[in-house]
Amino acid sequence: MDLPAAERLPWSREAWRDTLFVLSGAPLQAACWTLLALPWAFWVPERAGSVLSLLLASCAAALALVRPLTRAHRERAWAVLGRDLPVPPARPGGLLRALRAEDPRRDLGRELLYHLVVGPLLGGAAAAVALAWAGGAALATAVFWPPHAALLIAGLTLAGLALLAAAPWLAAGVRRLDVRAMAALLGPDRARELERRVEDLAGKRADVVDAADLERRRIERDLHDGAQQRLVALAMNLGLARETLTDVPEPARRVIVEAHEEAKAALAELRDLIRGLHPAVLADRGLDAALSGVAARVPLPVTLRVDVAERVASTVEAVAYFVVAEALTNVVKHAGAASVEVAVVRDGPTLRVRVADDGAGGADPARGTGLAGLARRVRSVDGTFRVVSPPGGPTALTVELPCAL
């Protein structure tokens, strides 16, 4: 966020806050190199072995310091700026194991990059900020210095004031860079984070698709156990009445006959509706059994080939079933075909569904809701959907579904 210029004046709150933030960072940013360099300032061993062990010891100390330093930087951002940087993922099992596993090692690498390279540079910038404030203050008070030429004093004062005015901008710039560097290097890895999020979303979508599938089954069961049984009983009673009440007046008899036929038609419709939702045989016996039922009710010669040795996820089965059932309905309604070929083949991780007819063609998913609905249902499980249907035919619909969700 960029603040309006008025708030960058040397005496504004923001200026002091940025300065405080930048300056408080400097000791932390210098810590790693200080730790690495400090021993050598007091003692330079002569034997190679000692040099090596001192080197190792300081490196180990610096590594051990990485996490506490990172935490300190986070606390600094929170205390001074009120900004909560994303927490880096926990590093299970301590430093040694972190060095072995890939993800924690990458996180450690990014943190080291901050503490050893970016941090010290920012520390240098912090020194510049401090210098700008101190120098500015010193020069601006040149009037109180031992007497010099008036022109020189005026020049120095002006330069001091300019430095003082520039210091908040400088501090704000360094603050921005620091916050960015901290977010990029000390927080969680953005790419990994996105990956995790994608996985998470994919999992959630699979849950939603499964939930929809479950809901369809529940509706199927409710209809089957409720309305359908009542209708069968009703149709049976009407049938019984039709058979036994032979001596009623003709108009009454006609009503009974009509009611009986209506009830039977309603039953047939309800049966088709339930079948479209989720036929019980699909869960029970799989695609081959369920599709033979669908294909047999198509008033055209259908060639059906189902080659699915190992059953696929039930949601995928449901989608494949729906695709074939809908496609066959479309063929009967629109294609004017003489025959249909249906093939469902499992090819490793892919379930390939193909419905081809020799009809008039010209099917377009962009028009009409049938094909678009199919495409949507296929997309819900990450499948691909393809219709080849030149005017004059033939039409081939190919759907590929990933077998496992």
Partner 1 sequence: MRVVIAEDSVLLRAGLIKLLETAGFEVVAAVGEAAGLLAAVAEHRPDLAVVDVRMPPGHTDEGVRAALVIRRESPDVAVLLLSQYVEERYAADLLAEHTSGIGYLLKDRVADVSTFLDALRRVAAGGTALDPEVVAQLLLRRGGGPLGRLTPREREVLELMAEGRSNAGIAAALVVSESAVAKHINGIFTKLDLPHAEGDHRRVLAVLRFLDGDA
Beta carbons within 10 angstroms of residue 116's beta carbon: 15
Among 12, 58, 292, 329, binds partner 1 (CB under 8 A): 292
| H-helix or E-strand spanning residue 64 | helix 48-76
Minimum CB distance to partner 1 smaller for 179 or for 283: 283
Write the CB contacts of 58 (distance below 8 Å, at least 6 apart in sequence).
35, 36, 38, 39
- Nearest CA-CA partner of 153 in 165, 138, 171: 138
- Candidates 67-75, 92-100, 268-276, 390-398: pick the segment binding partner 1 (CB under 8 A): 268-276
Indicate whether 19 belongs to the interface with partner 1 (CB under 8 A): no
Minimum CB distance to partner 1 smaller for 126 or for 356: 356
- Candidates 62-70, 186-194, 230-238, 251-259: pick the segment binding partner 1 (CB under 8 A): 230-238
Q: How many residues belong to the site for partner 1 (CB under 8 A)? A: 41
Beta carbons within 10 angstroms of residue 132's beta carbon: 21
- The runs of H, that is alpha helices, within 141-189 are 150-185
How large is the angle between the packed helices 150-185 and 119-140, nearest 10 degrees? 160
Indicate whether 253 belongs to the interface with partner 1 (CB under 8 A): no
- Nearest CA-CA partner of 73 in 60, 88, 57, 58: 88
Sheet containing strand 302-307, strands side by side: 302-307, 340-347, 350-357, 395-402, 384-388
Among 263, 325, 363, 403, binds partner 1 (CB under 8 A): 263
Instruction: Provide the 3-class DSSP secondary structure of residue 65.
Output: helix
Angular region, 382: left φ>0, alpha ψ -120 to 50, beta rest: left
Indicate whether 239 belongs to the interface with partner 1 (CB under 8 A): yes
- The runs of H, that is alpha helices, within 331-380 are 369-379
Among 192, 218, 297, 379, binds partner 1 (CB under 8 A): 297
Minimum CB distance to partner 1 smaller for 74 or for 260: 260
List 305's β-bridge partners, or say none. 343
Among 85, 181, 235, 316, binds partner 1 (CB under 8 A): 235
Indicate whether 141 belongs to the interface with partner 1 (CB under 8 A): no
Indicate whether 171 belongs to the interface with partner 1 (CB under 8 A): no
> Looking up tokens 């038609």, which residue turns up?
265
Instruction: Provide the 3-class DSSP secondary structure of residue 10.
Output: coil
Indicate whether 206 belongs to the interface with partner 1 (CB under 8 A): no
Minimum CB distance to partner 1 smaller for 263 or for 308: 263
The answer to whether the CB of 186 falls within 8 A of the CB of 111 is: yes
Binding mask 344-373 for partner 1 (x = CB under 8 A): ------------------------------
Minimum CB distance to partner 1 smaller for 196 or for 297: 297
Minimum CB distance to partner 1 smaller for 50 or for 229: 229
Indicate whether 278 belongs to the interface with partner 1 (CB under 8 A): no
Indicate whether 53 belongs to the interface with partner 1 (CB under 8 A): no
Dihedral, CA of residue 368, residue 366, residue 323 and residue 275, to nearest 10: -20
Among 125, 238, 327, 401, binds partner 1 (CB under 8 A): 238
Indicate whether 276 belongs to the interface with partner 1 (CB under 8 A): no
Among 195, 207, 222, 243, binds partner 1 (CB under 8 A): 243
Binding mask 309-348 for partner 1 (x = CB under 8 A): ----------------------------------------
Indicate whether 5 belongs to the interface with partner 1 (CB under 8 A): no
Indicate whether 227 belongs to the interface with partner 1 (CB under 8 A): no
Dihedral, CA of residue 211, residue 216, residue 217 and residue 218, to nearest 10: 90
List 386's β-bridge partners, or say none. 398
The answer to whether the CB of 277 falls within 8 A of the CB of 212 is: no
In the complex, the residues that contact partner 1 under the rule CB under 8 A are: 221, 224-225, 228-230, 232-233, 235-240, 242-244, 260, 263-264, 267-268, 271, 274-275, 279-281, 283-285, 289-290, 292-293, 295-297, 302-304
